[in-house]
Amino acid sequence: MNRKVAVIGAGNVGASAALYVAERGLADVTLVDIVEGMPQGKALDLTQTTPLWHQGGRIEGANDLAAVRGADLVIMTAGFPRKPGMSRSDLLKANADIVRPAAEAVRQHAPNAYVVVVTNPLDVMAWLFWKVSGFPKNRVLGMAGILDAARMRAFIGMELGVSPADVDAMVLGGHGDSMVPLPRYTTVGGIPVAELLPAERIAAINERTRNGGAEIVKLLKTGSAYYAPAMCSVDMAEAILTDTKRLVPCSVHLDGQYGMKDLFIGVPIVLGGRGVERIVELKLSAEETAALQKSGKDVADMIAELSVGVS
């Protein structure tokens, strides 16, 4: 039997994620969206790309959340995008109303699925999906650290004129303005980035990484990033479906690690066939620890605001 990936939300992120799943031949794909005809139309368009990938996976569209039935993995993208001047926290309650019924549907129709949450504010929506679904904490993850690290890798590659593929970066914390890029754990071809760039350029890249999403929102004017978020969510899906044991930063449930409990935040993990296989605790400096604790408090404050009425 073919594996099945259900993508909830057939907007730019969801449709792009479906394309990347098809391109990699990872699974059959079901696109689910409330807009009548839209997921079906995009699924048909995507189906017409499959001969070019030489892959045989099916792509279908549906308007009913019950269509996630039997999914091995769910990518949750549905939600309102950020607009210029809007923070991720502004999206909190509106997108919570979208995530709750989705989590309930996945709990009912795909009780064994792994879940990658992309909806913003990401760490809080991952927490909400986990809370409502009742799934084990290893099976619900937020797509954040991989995207933030990819942005940092791209910026360093641009700065140095080298392939970003040779850059390894680590970004911890919440997926927002208080994220914590870690130049100490960032290398280019194995060489510490501090050996290749002066401190002021590294600081500028850190700041651009923190504002990576907002920079795109400002340029697009009517939407937010989608190619990179979609690709990063599928990268996570592939690691789970193919059990590749990637060591990557993701937003996951902490239970005392890094001195935090009962929240989702970006930390390094081993990602494989059992989802979150283990959390890796890095040795952080006092300054890095303080920045991560501040980021965790920002996430915890939003969870506290949202958690009223969530059992």
Is 175 among the catalytic positions?
yes
Residue written as token pair 């980035």: 193
Secondary structure of the chain as H, E, C letters: CCCEEEEECCCHHHHHHHHHHHHHCCCEEEEECCCCCHHHHHHHHHHCCHHHHCCCCCEEEECCHHHHCCCCEEEECCCCCCCCCCCHHHHHHHHHHHHHHHHHHHHHHCCCCEEEECCCCHHHHHHHHHHHHCCCHHHEEECCHHHHHHHHHHHHHHHHCCCHHHEECCEEECCCCCCEECHHHCEECCEEHHHCCCHHHHHHHHHHHHCHHHHHHHHHCCCCCCHHHHHHHHHHHHHHHCCCCEEEEEEEEEECHHHCEEEEEEEEEEEECCEEEEECCCCCCHHHHHHHHHHHHHHHHHHHHHCCCCC
Backbone angles phi, psi at 192, to 5 degrees: -55, 135
Phi-psi region of 267 (alpha: psi -120 to 50; beta: other; left: phi over 0): beta
CB 2 within 8 A of CB 22: no
Q: Of the residues 54, 109, 175, 253, which is catalytic?
A: 175
Backbone angles phi, psi at 310, to 5 degrees: -95, 120
Active site residues: 175
